[in-house]
Amino acid sequence: MNTNAVYVFATWQVKDGQTENVLSLLKEVAEASRNEKGNLFYKIHQSIADRNTIVLSEGYADQTAVNEHRDSPHFKEIVIGKIVPLLEKREVVATNEIAE
């Protein structure tokens, strides 16, 4: 098992007119995600230049915690089922921190 913390950065380009819907749904996802056993943090950001661009920064204790998050009912039902259809584009990058 990988014991390295995993940091996920997701950039979503929301379809015109759907940003408030996405942000409303994300509140529920964020609350449920923050309560997951392996979650370190779950933060929602909105671009200043383009209000339809949402950036998520998430931290998980390890890859197992990421997998559990992606298998969770709130991820499957809300993110995949309700939010993804409201997006023009979705990019997700999973990272490990590099020691300085």
Q: What's the rounded Cα separation, in Å, for the pair 83 and 79?
A: 5
pLDDT given for residue 1 in this prediction: 44
The domain limits of the chain are: 19-89
Task: Over range 22-32, report the average pLDDT.
Answer: 98
Task: Over range 25-49, report the average pLDDT.
Answer: 98
45-100 pLDDT tens trace: 999 999 999 999 999 999 999 999 999 999 999 999 999 999 999 999 999 998 77
Q: What's the rounded Cα separation, in Å, for the pair 87 and 85?
A: 6
Q: State pTM to two decimals.
A: 0.91
Q: Which CATH class is domain 19-89?
A: alpha beta
